[in-house]
């Protein structure tokens, strides 16, 4: 009977030692020490192997924190570069517009339909206009129809237009005659 008590005490000591070792290792790896104490106490060798095999959460969390900080820093740098690029682009556009105005020319490239050939000029009669909405060519229409489209806000200053005598499509903002004619 005394040997049974000594055997039970020995088992409790082994359970406590393995539970304590598992709990200490688990805590150093960022895991719950209480849960691992019981795993180590109930399954001594298996608990010890498991806690040693699991990845260290503290290292993973530190790595993820570094990654988040670096990503945030890179996003901030990208945003700064994007703003600087937008400012440079706006300045270049402003200067080109000033040159175009001083020279009385339109050197801007159309933003859409650059590959499409302009339609052929119509023989005689009133001036006919073509316009593009969502990259689709519409027309021919007269200036009254263009004015209606403008009033209905179906076209704006960035809408590409073309008429006989123009070398290529141009935004409405650069088609001075038409823009003045429709009151845009």
Instruction: Write out pLDDT tens, residues 108-166.
Output: 665 554 545 555 555 555 689 999 988 899 989 999 899 999 999 999 999 999 988 88
Q: Which residues of 63-95 are buried (b: 16+ CB within 10 A; e: fewer)?
A: eeeeeeeeeeeeeeeeeeeeeeeeeeeeeeeee
Whole-number Å distance between alpha carbons of 172 and 6: 99
pLDDT of 66 above 90: yes
Which pLDDT score, from 0 to 100, does residue 131 have? 92
Q: How many CB atoms lie within 10 A of CB 181?
A: 15
Whole-number Å distance between alpha carbons of 50 and 39: 9
pTM metric for this prediction: 0.37
Which pLDDT score, from 0 to 100, does residue 95 have? 85
**Residues constituting the chain:** 184
């Amino acid at each position: 009977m005394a040997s049974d008590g000594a055997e039970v005490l020995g088992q409790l000591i082994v359970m406590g030692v393995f539970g304590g070792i598992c709990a200490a290792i688990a805590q150093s790896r960022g895991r719950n020490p209480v849960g691992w104490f019981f795993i180590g106490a109930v399954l001594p060798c298996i608990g010890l192997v498991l806690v040693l095999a699991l990845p260290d959460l503290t290292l993973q969390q530190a790595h993820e924190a570094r990654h988040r900080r670096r990503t945030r820093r890179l996003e901030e740098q990208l945003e700064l570069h994007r703003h600087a690029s937008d400012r440079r682009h706006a300045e270049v556009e402003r200067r080109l517009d000033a040159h175009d105005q001083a020279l009385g020319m339109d050197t801007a490239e159309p933003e859409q339909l650059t590959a499409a050939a302009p339609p052929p000029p119509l023989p005689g009669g009133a001036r006919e206009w073509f316009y593009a909405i969502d990259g689709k060519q519409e027309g021919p229409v007269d200036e009254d129809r263009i004015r209606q489209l403008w009033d209905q806000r179906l076209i704006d200053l960035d809408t590409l237009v073309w008429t006989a005598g123009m070398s290529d499509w141009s935004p409405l903002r650069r088609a001075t005659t038409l823009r003045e004619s429709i009151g845009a």
